[in-house]
C-alpha cells in the first residue's frame, strides 16, 4: 500500500538520551515534514524538506535534527537538548512544498521521557 | 504574525444532529485553507482544501465554506455519526511560506448516541 510509515509507534527515552524516529514514504513525494503535537493542541512544524539533501527549520526546531539523504526517508532525531520531548510526533509528505498541495500524514509516534 | 483561531474548543452533540465549526485566520497573503480530521492517536486526514476563489466545497457530509474577505471559514457536518467524533483542524497556508502552514488548535467534537 502507498503511504507514510512511521516507527516506532511508541518510544520511551531516558533523560539525556538521543532517540531517532523513522519516517518512510513510498508516494514519490518531494516534500516531507515533521510536526509535534501536544495534548489538546494543534500541530507545530519542527523541520521540513523540499528536496533530497535539503531541509529547513520550522517553528520549533531547537533540540531536534533531521537528515534527507534519500527521497523516501526523513528521520527525526530528538536530542538531549530538547528539554520537554514528551509528545506525539507526526511525519508528513506532499508532492511538493508548494502550498496548494495536500499534506498526507503518517500514523504518528508517541515519545515519552521516563 | 500568521494566526489561525478555531471555535469552539470542544463540542458535544447527539447523533444525527448537525454542527458547524468555525475558523478565523490572519494569514497573508492567503494561498489556501484546509480542514483536517484527526482521530485520537492517529494522523490527520484531509477533508477539504479551498483556494481564494472557492466559496464552498463538500466532501460527503462535510461542507466547508470560505469568506476570503472576512478571513473566515466554517466546516458544517450534516447528520452526524458516532465516527465523526474526532478533532478537526483548520490549516491555512500563505503564498510566501512554501512548506510552512499554520494550524489552528482544533475543535474536539464528541458525538453521543
C-alpha cell at A8: 516506532
Check CB contact under 8 Å for B32 and A102: no
Distance CA B51, CA B34 (A): 9
A5, closest residue in chain B (CA to CA): B43
Q: List the one residue out of B65, B50, B29, B101 whose CA is nearest residue A98.
A: B101
What does the pLDDT look like over A22-79, one tens digit per residue? 999 999 999 999 999 998 888 999 999 999 999 999 999 999 999 999 999 999 999 9
Distances (CA, A) of A97 to A8, A51, A59, A102, B2: 26, 9, 16, 9, 18
Residue A8, preceding bond cis, omega within 30 degrees? yes
Q: Which of B31, B32, B89 sits opposite A42 (nearest CB)?
A: B89
**pLDDT(A99) > 80:** no
In this prediction, residue B19 carries a pLDDT of 98
**pLDDT(A19) > 70:** yes
pLDDT confidence tier of residue A97, bands split at 50, 70 and 90? confident
The gap from C-alpha B34 to its chain's centroid, in whole angstroms, comes to 6
Amino acid at each position: 500500500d502507498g503511504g507514510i510509515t512511521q516507527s516506532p509507534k511508541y518510544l520511551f527515552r531516558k533523560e539525556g538520551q538521543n532517540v531517532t524516529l523513522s519516517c518512510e514514504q513510498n508516494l514519490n513525494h518531494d516534500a516531507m515534514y515533521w510536526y509535534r503535537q501536544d495534548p489538546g493542541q494543534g500541530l507545530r512544524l519542527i523541520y521540513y524538506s523540499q528536496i533530497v539533501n535539503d531541509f529547513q527549520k520550522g517553528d520549533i526546531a531547537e533540540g531536534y535534527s533531521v537528515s534527507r539523504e534519500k527521497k523516501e526517508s526523513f528521520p527525526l532525531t530528538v536530542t538531549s537538548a530538547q528539554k520537554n520531548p514528551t509528545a506525539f510526533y507526526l511525519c508528513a509528505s506532499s508532492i511538493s512544498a508548494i502550498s496548494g498541495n495536500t499534506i498526507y500524514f503518517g500514523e504518528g509516534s508517541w515519545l515519552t521521557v521516563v | 504574525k500568521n494566526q489561525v483561531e478555531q471555535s469552539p474548543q470542544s463540542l458535544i452533540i447527539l447523533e444525527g444532529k448537525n454542527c458547524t465549526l468555525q475558523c478565523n485566520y490572519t494569514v497573508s497573503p492567503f494561498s489556501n485553507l484546509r480542514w483536517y480530521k484527526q482521530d485520537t492517536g492517529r494522523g490527520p486526514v484531509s477533508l477539504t482544501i479551498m483556494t481564494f476563489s472557492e466559496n464552498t466545497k463538500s466532501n460527503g457530509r462535510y461542507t466547508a465554506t470560505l469568506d476570503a474577505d472576512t478571513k473566515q471559514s466554517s466546516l458544517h457536518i450534516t447528520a452526524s455519526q458516532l465516527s465523526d467524533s474526532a478533532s478537526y483542524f483548520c490549516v491555512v497556508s500563505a503564498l510566501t511560506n512554501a512548506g510552512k502552514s499554520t494550524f489552528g488548535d482544533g475543535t474536539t467534537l464528541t458525538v453521543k448516541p
